[in-house]
A and B are shown apart, each in its own frame.
Chain A
Amino acid sequence: MVRFIALRLLQAIPVLFVVISATFFLVRQAPGGPFDAEKPVIPAVKRALEAKYNLDQSLWQQYLSYMGDLLQGDLGPSFKYPGWAVQDLIGSGFPVTAELGIYALLIALLIGTTAGVLAALKPNSAQDYVPMSVAMIGICMPTFLLGPLLVLVFGIWLEWLPISGWGDLPGDKILPSITLGAAYAAYVARLSRGGMLEVLSQDYIRTARAKGLPEHVVVLKHALRGGLVPVVAYLGPAFAGLLSGSFVVETIFQIPGLGRFYVQAAFNRDYTMILGTTIFLSTLIVLFNLLSDVIATWMNPRLRDGLRGGSQ
């Protein structure tokens, strides 16, 4: 087990290295720089700023000094928020984004698995077609359309829920969480339907029925564990996607999360902020993929033995 995880973490190092290097050089290829504004800065001031942030050095020198700082855990200062270190900005935005991501994930799992399992129990019936059609719509509908639609219906017409903010008014977390979770719920529904259909056709489900077990025991105890393996394997990528893809929702609902910092940083050419957020998110993606692989493996008794063997 330990060896398996250690091996996967070692594999992550070259991945992160390539991501960091590519981002570093790509953002600097983009036209403009952090201190180009609509109102031109006095050249002397601009030079002083560039000197302060080492931007007057050659690209390679900047790269090497950045990597040196990074190895010591320093993501550097933000170019746009003077006095703020990038890690502090991430630290202030991430908890909000993480909370939003967790709510969205819970919604996705709750709605998705329920719909998927129900659909699999009666394939090719209304109980299958209706949730699966809704799921298809959910996958097709982008968040920048769903968000405003929900705001229009529940915020403006029905006046049930606040239309923006995060933690300011009661219930203002509901619409953004649903908006972000909807597409994932749809995908989870399709995965769990497929997984359950496959498991329900297995011989051991026939055995469970032949034992005279009540149908809910057959489904929840005998089928669900195997049927949800694909969903669990998808959780890692899903959570990473929720975190890194939340900026649209954060923008629509005016949520002070990491996603908004990320997009603003890109517009502002805030090199260190872009890099810092990219590193942070890609590390999370690697970790969550690993985590969901470990859980999916752990759920299968046969592979579990292999993991144990690997630690010896």
Chain B
Amino acid sequence: MLLQVDNLSVSFATRNGVQAAVKNVSYSVDKGQILGIVGESGSGKSVSCYSLLGLIPQPPGRIDSGTALFNGEDLLKLSPARQRDIRGNRIAMIFQDPMTSLNPFLSIGEQLLEPLVYHHDCSRAEARSRALQLLDEVGIVDGERKFSSFPHEFSGGMRQRVMIAMALITEPELLIADEPTTALDVTIQAQILRLIADLQSRHNIGVIFISHDLAVVNQLADHVLVMNKGEIVEAGPGERVLHKPQQAYTQTLIASTPRGAKIASGRERERDSETLVSVRSLSTSFVDYSSHAAKRVRAVNDVSFDLYRGEILGLVGESGSGKSTLGRSILRLVNVDEGTIEYDGVDLLALQGNDLMPYRQRMQMIFQDPFASLNPRMTIYDALAEPLLYHGLANRQSVQSAVLQLMDDVGLEGRFIRKYPHEFSGGQRQRIAIARALATGPEFIVTDEPVSALDVTVQKQILELLLALVAKHNLSMLFISHDLSVVRYLCDRVLVMRQASIIEAGDVENVWRDPASDYTRQLLASAPVL
């Protein structure tokens, strides 16, 4: 056995006392095997691997018990120096966010060489030729020239390739990949997953693949561990764990992962209902200040579509496709270059100042990150009462009961009314954000990736909530997402956006069955399925 972990327990000293992060966890990986560890945030899936390599800060972290035999040597009993010998040499790691995992101050080449130079006593010239060879192997062309480039000149996918090359340069026996594709677009994710599988079989190494995404793990792993609250809930061959789960928690996880068509389709969209929003030839651009030479970027280019009353219209696309800018343009949160937006027959772009106010009340937005979009110094009561009072929907006497009504609508208990955002979990915060959007009694809501930051079981609850609210308040919704399975689960029709343009539109099931454009076909094929 390459790595055999037994009875590993890790705890962290926090302000609220000592908290166990990993409890009596045992697992093993062999050469040529991919072990998938799945779990939600806080399940201890990362800590159970990081602690083997001395990568958790101690204190506050502490390894309470356990052994981790790596080729017969207990990793947990090694001196720091010996641990460094193994780390990055015989056990290598890649991380979630390739945008932040490479040092922005050092050239790609310099960072690639380091493991060889420090572990193998190898000359820089030898290391360089080996690095160039690996860059080629991970699919980076023109490595010679890329060698002196800096990370910011690379896209996310390219950076993750560099990370993989860096991890493999010392020919490790074990690779630990912590959510390596979570920050990537779905087509790039597919490429990186293929690359990892390919390299794994070619070099016959063991891989531990940590992910929250069951579909991704399903695609890759031979063996799967399901973790929850620091414990292993279920372990076994991937096929059995993910398709015939024995434990209730695993079953919940799998049931929460959106699959197939809308399950909760109690509601049928009334066909040929009237048009609520009609967008014609819309273009929006903004100035990109990320480099000194500011340049104008057209984020939305000549886009036209209709949104019908009572429908949920999905808007999918990869990062940088312009989907968020399109959503904000419709709500007039950003300035539009040209085109028309008709809302319920009124030209929105012609309205200014106070004339726009009634429409602001009828259109609302829910953002991706409820941590960032709620003011940390306002209680729920403040956040919800503000729009009610401002738009004259409640007065001083009635506002409290109106706020309580809103909280009840989104499934929050009334006793939370004086609490601040940081006192809530991510899912609860997104409920607050939804309540805030509902406060003005809107008929149209733009939601921008509202469930992307949430764990899958919480995501399911929020999706159900959105469906219920759409039915209850007869809402129309533009649902922006990068996640194809969520869109398929929730939406009636879908728009596919790429490079600032809409390249496909249609009923969700039709598009899934028979995509008209190559790009949509590629997107659908790239999405991992459970």
Please report A residues at the B interface, Cβ cutoff 8 Å: 4, 202-204, 206-214, 217, 221-222, 225-226, 299-303, 305-307, 309-310
Taking CB atoms and an 8 Å cut-off, the chain B residues in 107-121 that contact chain A are: 107, 114-115, 118-119
In the complex, the answer to whether A204 meets B102 with C-beta atoms within 8 Å is: yes
Give 25 A-B contacts (CB < 8 Å), ordered by A residue: A204-B102, A204-B103, A204-B104, A206-B55, A206-B95, A208-B103, A210-B88, A211-B87, A211-B88, A211-B92, A211-B115, A211-B166, A212-B83, A212-B119, A213-B88, A217-B114, A217-B118, A222-B106, A225-B106, A299-B105, A301-B107, A302-B104, A303-B292, A307-B292, A310-B292
| B86 lies within 8 A of chain A by Cβ | yes
Q: Given the complex, which residues of A lie within 8 Å of B88, measured CB to CB? A: 210-213
Compute how far the CA of A307 lies from the CA of B153 in the bound complex, rounded to whole angstroms.
15
- Closest residue of A by beta carbon distance from B102: A204
- Closest residue of B by beta carbon distance from A306: B292
A-B contact sample (16 more), CB < 8 A, given A305-B152, A309-B291: A203-B97, A203-B100, A204-B104, A210-B53, A211-B92, A212-B83, A212-B118, A212-B119, A222-B103, A299-B105, A301-B104, A301-B107, A302-B152, A305-B292, A309-B293, A310-B292
Smallest CB–CB gap between B466 and chain A, Å? 32
In the complex, the answer to whether B291 meets A301 with C-beta atoms within 8 Å is: no
Known: A203-B100, A208-B103, A226-B105. A213 touches B55 (CB 8 A): no
Q: Given the complex, which residues of B lie within 8 Å of A299, measured CB to CB? A: 105
1/0 contact string of B402-431 vs chain A (CB within 8 Å)? 000000000000000000000000000000
In the complex, the answer to whether A207 meets B152 with C-beta atoms within 8 Å is: no
- Closest residue of B by beta carbon distance from A303: B292
In the complex, the answer to whether A204 meets B100 with C-beta atoms within 8 Å is: yes
Q: Given the complex, which residues of B lie within 8 Å of A203, measured CB to CB? A: 95, 97, 100-101
Compute how far the CA of A299 lies from the CA of B293 in the bound complex, rounded to whole angstroms.
18
Q: Given the complex, which residues of A lie within 8 Å of B83, measured CB to CB? A: 212
| B89 lies within 8 A of chain A by Cβ | yes
| B150 lies within 8 A of chain A by Cβ | yes
Q: Given the complex, which residues of A lie within 8 Å of B106, measured CB to CB? A: 221-222, 225
In the complex, the answer to whether B104 meets A212 with C-beta atoms within 8 Å is: no
Smallest CB–CB gap between A120 and chain B, Å? 14
**Most chain B CB neighbours (cut-off 10 Å) among A207, A217, A221:** A207
Total residues of chain B contacting the partner, CB 8 A: 33
1/0 contact string of B64-101 vs chain A (CB within 8 Å)? 00000000000000000001111111001101010011
Q: Given the complex, which residues of B lie within 8 Å of A310, measured CB to CB? A: 292-293
Compute how far the CA of A204 lies from the CA of B150 in the bound complex, rounded to whole angstroms.
13
Taking CB atoms and an 8 Å cut-off, the chain B residues in 261-316 that contact chain A are: 291-293
Compute how far the CA of A237 lies from the CA of B93 in the bound complex, rounded to whole angstroms.
42
Smallest CB–CB gap between B483 and chain A, Å? 24
In the complex, the answer to whether A226 meets B104 with C-beta atoms within 8 Å is: yes
Compute how far the CA of A202 lies from the CA of B105 in the bound complex, rounded to whole angstroms.
12
- Closest residue of A by beta carbon distance from B96: A203
Smallest CB–CB gap between B124 and chain A, Å? 14
Q: Given the complex, which residues of B lie within 8 Å of A202, measured CB to CB? A: 100
Taking CB atoms and an 8 Å cut-off, the chain B residues in 335-386 that contact chain A are: none
Q: Given the complex, which residues of B lie within 8 Å of A221, measured CB to CB? A: 106
Q: Given the complex, which residues of B lie within 8 Å of A222, measured CB to CB? A: 103, 105-106
Compute how far the CA of A14 lies from the CA of B266 in the bound complex, rounded to whole angstroms.
70
Compute how far the CA of A299 lies from the CA of B103 in the bound complex, rounded to whole angstroms.
13
- Closest residue of A by beta carbon distance from B103: A204
Q: Looking at the complex, which one of B86, B102, B293 makes contact with A207 (CB distance below 8 Å)?
A: B102
Q: Given the complex, which residues of A lie within 8 Å of B107, measured CB to CB? A: 301
Compute how far the CA of A305 lies from the CA of B151 in the bound complex, rounded to whole angstroms.
12
In the complex, the answer to whether A306 meets B103 with C-beta atoms within 8 Å is: no
Q: Given the complex, which residues of A lie within 8 Å of B292, measured CB to CB? A: 4, 303, 305-307, 309-310
In the complex, the answer to whether A210 meets B291 with C-beta atoms within 8 Å is: no
In the complex, the answer to whether B104 meets A210 with C-beta atoms within 8 Å is: no
Q: Given the complex, which residues of A lie within 8 Å of B153, measured CB to CB? A: 305
Smallest CB–CB gap between A305 and chain B, Å? 6
- Closest residue of B by beta carbon distance from A217: B118
Compute how far the CA of A209 lies from the CA of B152 in the bound complex, rounded to whole angstroms.
21
Compute how far the CA of A210 lies from the CA of B89 in the bound complex, rounded to whole angstroms.
9
- Closest residue of B by beta carbon distance from A201: B57
- Closest residue of B by beta carbon distance from A226: B105
In the complex, the answer to whether B104 meets A211 with C-beta atoms within 8 Å is: no
**Most chain A CB neighbours (cut-off 10 Å) among B114, B119, B163:** B114
In the complex, the answer to whether B118 meets A301 with C-beta atoms within 8 Å is: no
Smallest CB–CB gap between B183 and chain A, Å? 11
Compute how far the CA of A71 lies from the CA of B244 in the bound complex, rounded to whole angstroms.
88
Q: Looking at the complex, which one of A213, A301, A306 makes contact with B105 (CB distance below 8 Å)?
A: A301
Q: Given the complex, which residues of B lie within 8 Å of A211, measured CB to CB? A: 87-88, 92, 114-115, 118, 166
1/0 contact string of B139-155 vs chain A (CB within 8 Å)? 00000000000101100
Q: Given the complex, which residues of B lie within 8 Å of A300, measured CB to CB? A: 104-105
Compute how far the CA of A213 lies from the CA of B111 in the bound complex, rounded to whole angstroms.
11
Compute how far the CA of A228 lies from the CA of B153 in the bound complex, rounded to whole angstroms.
23
- Closest residue of A by beta carbon distance from B54: A209
- Closest residue of A by beta carbon distance from B93: A210
Known: A226-B105, A300-B104, A306-B292. A212 touches B95 (CB 8 A): no
Compute how far the CA of A206 lies from the CA of B92 in the bound complex, rounded to whole angstroms.
12
**Which 5 pairs from chain A and chain B are nearest by CB?**
A306-B292, A212-B88, A211-B88, A301-B150, A212-B87
Known: A306-B291, A309-B292, A310-B292. A210 touches B87 (CB 8 A): yes
Smallest CB–CB gap between B93 and chain A, Å? 4
Compute how far the CA of A273 lies from the CA of B84 in the bound complex, rounded to whole angstroms.
63
Q: Looking at the complex, which one of A4, A208, A212, A305 makes contact with B86 (CB distance below 8 Å)?
A: A212
- Closest residue of B by beta carbon distance from A209: B55
Compute how far the CA of A301 lies from the CA of B107 in the bound complex, rounded to whole angstroms.
9
Compute how far the CA of A126 lies from the CA of B191 in the bound complex, rounded to whole angstroms.
49
- Closest residue of A by beta carbon distance from B97: A203
Smallest CB–CB gap between A203 and chain B, Å? 4
Compute how far the CA of A303 lies from the CA of B150 in the bound complex, rounded to whole angstroms.
11
Q: Given the complex, which residues of B lie within 8 Å of A208, measured CB to CB? A: 103, 114
- Closest residue of A by beta carbon distance from B85: A212
Q: Given the complex, which residues of B lie within 8 Å of A4, measured CB to CB? A: 292
- Closest residue of A by beta carbon distance from B152: A302
Smallest CB–CB gap between A144 and chain B, Å? 41
Q: Given the complex, which residues of B lie within 8 Å of A226, measured CB to CB? A: 103-105
- Closest residue of A by beta carbon distance from B100: A203
